[in-house]
Structure 1
């Protein structure tokens, strides 16, 4: 079991997913909050039943699954609806992530949580031993979004603005990975962090 868990987060288009893949390539278990969010409202789950109870059967697709595009449009237009949906999903995501990391057999585990700052930070995730923030300047985020998603600048800026501010993410960080270079450079930085976390996890286990 991995008692030493590192929270991995970062803004949109910061490269946090690629950083997660680099940790996986080094043999480290990575639990993904996006996957946990899908599992939390899977067909037949209590989470999906609670969503239907709160929002009505109109949120379901023809196959009985959550109609994600429709739900996304609804909560994007209604902050109160978004808070109510988050109240159903976020506790389940935290529980699933914690359970997945606890079962990991690697020296330590990574909990990849894109909205860690927005979701309560350390207070919501007290079992995280360290928080790693993948950081890039906003100008780099903007450029990557335009190239990656093929969207206009107005939408790209809006996607950045609806997330926590860069300073808010950095405020909860124990470690900061500046990802403004090449994939090779990112891999080298992740390898250095991996050595750090393996050492810390070993010390933690010995204590």
Structure 2
């Protein structure tokens, strides 16, 4: 794909603050492409993935709005690797195509791809110039997601166990933003990295 000379992959565990930090970079002029948002669009009402999902999994996974029933699908594939692979075979090529299309049309001094499972994906690690990990203590992640999504602690922990560990993400990182919840402190970290990325993008 033809994109900016410098591209950044931004990732972090659930509840780490990826979206908040990505938006801070966007305010400074970076182009933003959120693969989670793309996934929601293609599985929303009239989304391009919906006919294949209905054919593969059945109408019981489709809401009256025409969107994928995410909660039902999440419960269905959560502990079934084969079913998860079936879903990913539908979604991943479509997400990749939509991402590549967006990369050609998104303005910015450089491009940031927000990819929740970047460390888990060897292909994504090869497609970006640098990897930025948003890091915070696991207990903080759990508390944030419980507060934000209304999940139980057990549900949040179960999701985290399907993701790369904190140590694995930090090992893959070229840069790290530590999110302790202080927005001013985070903005300072973002500004420092933004200046560095502008130099890389020249």
Q: In 2, are the aligned partners of 1:2 and 1:105 still within 8 Å (CA)? A: no
Give the match for residue 130 of structure 2: 130
Q: In 2 relative to 1, CA 201–160 (structure 1 residues): closer, same or farther, beyond 3 Å?
A: same
Pairing 1:89–2:101 present: no
Name the residue aligned to 1:109: 111
Shift in Å, 1:44: 4.4
Superposed, 1:1-207 pairs within 5 Å as 2-118=4-120, 120-121=121-122, 123-124=123-124, 126-202=126-202
CA 1:57–1:153 in structure 2 vs 1: closer, same or farther (change >3 Å)?
Answer: closer
* Alignment gaps of 5+ in structure 1: 203-207
More deviation in 61-70 or 27-36? 61-70
**What CA distance in whole angstroms lies between the structure 2 residues aligned with 1:125 and 1:93?**
16
How high is the TM-score relative to the length of structure 2?
A: 0.88
SS in structure 1 opposite 2:29?
coil
TM-score (norm 1): 0.86
Question: 167-176 vs 184-193, which deviates more?
Answer: 167-176
Deviates more, 1:59-68 or 1:179-188: 59-68
Deviations 1:7-39 (A, max 9, x none): 110001111111011111112221111111023
Query: What is the SS of the residue equivalent to 1:64?
Result: coil
* 1:68-101 deviation digits (Å, cap 9, x = unpaired): 2222221124332111101211222122223212
Query: Size of the alignment, in residue pairs?
Result: 200
The 1:156–1:68 alpha-carbon spacing in structure 2 relative to 1, beyond 3 Å, is closer
Q: CA deviation at 1:169?
A: 1.4
Deviation (angstroms), 1:125? 5.1
Contact persistence 1:2–1:104 (CA under 8 A): no
